[in-house]
Amino acid sequence: MIVKIVIYAFLLLESSNVLALYFAPGSRKANAVGMFSAWEASKQYPEIHAFIQYLVNWVAGVKLIFLLLLAVIVIFGDLSLQRLSLLALALATLSFFWRLFPLIRRLDRQGQIEPKNYSTVLAGMISAMILLFLLGALL
């Protein structure tokens, strides 16, 4: 039961991000891209803004694919598959610290993200998610 609760919680959380990216990408909520100063600045250059919009929608689409696959696993998969999916989520989520965290921390330090220190808050949230995935898989 704990495994399913963790997966459903993740599905709910990430669904809010997908909705924000598709329908309110400039928002500062649900981890959309409005906290990056480059989002607004790109609007001065239509071809760059169109490219950024494409990438934001591409990320949303990829997240949606994984969420739907995870929903199939939680609905139809057995407990072993669900536990393995949590381990896979933990491992995949760790990749944030390889490429994304150094980049967002640099942008944060350069004052290109509002609110300040958002990178630290995001790193904490992602670390908590990884821990939750691991605990859910092991309990």
Count the domains in the chain.
Answer: 1
Report the distance separating Cα 117 and Cα 22, nearest Å: 25
For residue 11, what are the contacts with CB-CB under 8 A and spacing of at least 6?
67, 70, 71, 74
pTM: 0.88
Q: How confident is the model at residue 42 (pLDDT cuts 50, 70, 90)?
A: very high
Per the structure, the complete domain to which residue 6 belongs is given by 2-138
3-state helix, strand, coil in the chain (%, to 5): 80, 0, 20
What does the pLDDT look like over 101-126, one tens digit per residue? 999 999 999 999 999 999 999 999 99
Give whole-number Cα distances, 58 to 25, 51, 63, 95, in Å.
12, 10, 9, 18
**Residue 1 has what pLDDT?**
86
